[in-house]
Amino acid sequence: MTGNKEDYLNYRISKSLEVFKDAALLAKNGRWNSCINRLYYSSYYLAGALLFSKNIKAETHNGVKTQLFKNYVKTGSLSIEHGKLYSHLFDWRQESDYADFVEFDQSIVEPLLNEVAELNSAMKKLISRSS
């Protein structure tokens, strides 16, 4: 990694915003499975940044999820609802990318745009308190 800790955090926040915007475009065009993927990654980039901000190591997607729950959901820094949402995004992204005959639809995905925006906002606030 080049740059300092702040550069890395800013990069991950920027990347999160970029892929969230991609998710909104995909939703607008009815591309629900791809939208799930981008929503997950918008939160994943922030979850990784949040852990990095506290020098918490996680080397896999599952590791990020585990550490997020251990250090932020169980401590109450992130709500249980946000933790469940992140867990669902993790599972749904896996299903949409790797399982056959899995098709998400508007009724499931469209409400996630606001929910993920709230989750991402909560993680950004925690990152800003850490740096």
In one letter, which amino acid is 101? Answer: F
Which pLDDT tens digit goes with each residue over 34-68? 999 999 999 999 999 999 999 999 999 999 999 99
User: Looking at residue 78, what is its pLDDT?
Assistant: 97
d(CA 7, CA 15): 12
| CB-based burial label for 112 (10 Å; 0-12, 13-18, 19+) | buried
**Beta-carbon contacts of residue 111 (< 8 Å; ≥ 6 apart):** none
Beta strands in the chain (DSSP E): none
pTM of the full predicted structure? Answer: 0.94
Question: Domain-by-domain residue ranges, the chain?
Answer: 5-130
Structure tokens at 77: 């820094």
d(CA 67, CA 123): 14
- Residue range 5-130 forms a domain whose CATH class is mainly alpha
